[in-house]
Amino acid sequence: MVRFAPGKPLIECRRSHSLCRGMFFCKHINPELLARVAAISRFQRDPSSCTTILAAEAETRQNEGTTPEQHAAIGWNPKFKDDHRTHQIPDHVDENLLARFLAGMTIADGDEEDTKPCSKFVHPRTGFRQHFCPHSHIKDGQQVRGKIVQRICTARRAIYVPVDTSIRKALIVHNDTGHNHPMPTLIKASFSTKATYEKLIQAVGVVGATVSKVDNAPSTKVILGGKSVTAFAPSLHSKRTKHDILRQVKTEQFPNGLDAAGAFNLYLNGLTKPLPERYIHSYITTPDGGICILTSVPFLLKLLDDPGVTSFDGDTTFKRIEGNMNEWELSVFAKVVLRAASLVRAYINRASADFFEKVFDELQRVKLMVTGKPIGLKKLVPGGNSLVMNSDMDGAQILGFTRSAMKHNVFEHSNIPNDTPAEQVAPEFVKICWRHAKEPVNDFKTLVSAADFARLQNFVYIDSKESLRDFSVFVNTLGVKEIQDWWRHKEMHEWIIPCLVKSQSRLSADAWDSTPSTTNTNEAQHAWTNALTGIKLTLVEGLET
């Protein structure tokens, strides 16, 4: 029971004892420095002692490595025999001195090469988690390691808090000894500091926010009256503290999490909106744990039916979303506004042909739901406007798309039987990006002559069956296994060369020449999106941005 003031009633309280952890420092500390900063008893922070310590530590860092002996000193001893890292000896290290250290020999008689006394203090919050001093120490001509030691402090306090939580008061009782060491800067953020940093986060925007974005945002200096975050509160020097505050704010805004579970909640919430206002249209799973989250702005999806859109790019990007989910993007160049546009984004964690078939099946379903039409491939359906899909060398995507597209094939229009294998149908409406196809060729530059390298680079311009056979003979006569394996891969899959080489394609010459031969539109959209939203986002933040 505690009486908080004379004449007041006794109140039942909980009691908590708090002990000071004291001071931690290198055992080779300068005794004069230690005596100077620990000579008085303190009940509050002493700026002069802190300044003395900071100046001494700065001097120690300045003197570090200014002699050959300090460059040769290493954290090694003969007991480290197994599984030790190896490094090349830097040029500026005296190998004779290093050899003497390794043998446990002195490097000089007496103490003429000894380092000055140390000044390393360790924050009590770190304490013995830092076992050794990071500075090099030479004493009596030998390398020694500075162990961190503790100076015990006798300061104590007791805190009494009423059991009845409606009583908003506390009694703090200190002993009368004070602290026998300088008190460090407070690194624990107060409630008001956390509240202010939360305000900074809200000003920037929670979705996609990072510590760096918040710290450097123009709104931050406005709110803090021109100060930087660290000048406003020393506790915000800690990135971990700021990360913890940011994570808590995001958790409050997205209580269902920032991963697939949180994304599913966004999908369910979106279903309550009218179709023209929905963004997440589909969330499907497969028995093997596959997930596909299909998103699109309905108005933009209608651009696939625009007569001026005769091709579209499909490609997966790996930078924007952190974790095991990747982002697949469908882009077009919309002539009506003379700019590229991303019409569909799918967030996926599988990449097989079967999985991509399901992705495109779902895209076809959503396209029918939004526009009343399937994806209009001119080769397969009457009234279609799309001549080709441009893709990189991802065979799973190409074959998955082809299988899905054939489910909407009108035989009377295309004269292609519905049971035709995807490998045979793909050259009818797929073009493989030349830039992606040529990238492996660049690795062959040092393996062949300049003339042969130029011929390898120009393989996409083969103009006849005879030229194709000649090129195959040319590759085999080079006798370079890497090049032979590269070309054998192209020949082994019946759809690759027809999707790469105009003379072997089943597209008409006009269709080939009027559509892009690269996926640069899609690649540019990747970079543009990353610049606007950032990279390494959580799945939910990727969906929200």
Q: Do 211 and 242 meet the contact criterion of CB atoms below 8 Å apart?
A: yes
Question: For residue 97, what pLDDT band results from cuts at 50, 70 and 90?
Answer: confident
- Residue 332: which pLDDT band, with cuts at 50, 70 and 90? very high
Number of H helices, E strands in the chain: 23, 17
Q: What is the pLDDT of residue 85?
A: 60
| Averaged confidence pLDDT in the chain | 90
Classify residue 50 as exposed, middle or buried by CB count within 10 Å of its CB (0-12, 13-18, 19+). middle
- List, for residues 406-438, the tens digit of each pLDDT value: 999 999 999 999 999 999 999 999 999 999 999
pLDDT tens, position by position, 171-197: 999 888 888 888 776 667 889 999 999
pLDDT higher at 60 or 229: 229
pLDDT value for 347: 98
What is the structure's pLDDT at 389? Answer: 97
Answer whether residue 69 shows pLDDT above 70.
Answer: no
β 13-19/171-174 pair status: unpaired
pLDDT interval class at 101 (50, 70, 90): confident
Q: Please, are residues 138 and 115 in contact by the beta-carbon 8 Å criterion?
A: yes
Cβ-in-10-Å burial (0-12, 13-18, 19+) of 303 comes to buried
The pLDDT tens digits of the residues spanning 244-289 come to 999 999 999 999 999 999 999 999 999 999 999 999 999 999 999 9
Supply the pLDDT for residue 185: 67
Q: Which residues pair with 295 in a beta bridge?
A: 280, 345
Over residues 475-483, the mean pLDDT reads 95
DSSP bridge pairs for 150:
24
In angstroms, how far is CA 440 from the centroid of its own chain? 27
User: Is the separation of the CB atoms in 380 and 416 below 8 Å?
Assistant: yes
Other beta carbons within 10 angstroms of residue 99's beta carbon come to 11
Q: What is the pLDDT of residues 454-468, one digit of tens each?
A: 999 999 999 999 999
The pLDDT of residue 455: 96
Query: Mean pLDDT, to the nearest integer, of 143-148?
Result: 88
Domain locations in the chain as residue ranges: 2-151, 191-253, 278-429+520-531, 437-506
**Among 6-20, 67-81, 85-99, 388-402, where is mean pLDDT lowest?**
67-81
Q: Are 211 and 250 in contact, with CB atoms under 8 Å apart?
A: no
Cα 432 to Cα 507: distance, rounded to the nearest angstrom: 13
Sequence-distant (6+) residues with CB within 8 A of 362 are 282, 284, 292, 294
Look at residue 158 and tell me whether its pLDDT is greater than 60. Answer: yes
Distance (Å, whole) CA 149 – CA 63: 23
Contacts of 218 (CB under 8 A, 6+ apart): none
Tokens of 267: 């999908």
- Does residue 99 register a pLDDT over 60? yes
Sort residue 383 into left (φ over 0), alpha (ψ -120 to 50) or beta.
left
- Closest of 155, 79, 150 to residue 121, by C-alpha: 150
Residues 329-348: b if buried by 16+ CB within 10 A, e if exposed: bbbbbbeeeeebbbbbbbbb
User: Is residue 98 pLDDT above 80, yes or no?
Assistant: no
Tokens 């200096």 map to which residue? Answer: 221
Per-residue confidence (pLDDT) for residue 74, from 0 to 100: 52
Degrees to nearest 5, angle at CA 55 with 49 and 57: 105
**CA 440/CA 502 separation, integer angstroms:** 20
Q: Residues 14-34: what's their mean pLDDT?
A: 90
| pLDDT tens by residue, 78-89 | 565 566 566 677
Does residue 75 surpass a pLDDT of 60? no
Q: For position 27, what pLDDT does the model report?
A: 93
Length of the chain: 545
Residue 467's pLDDT is what?
96
Between 185 and 118, the higher pLDDT residue: 118
pLDDT at 353 over 80: yes
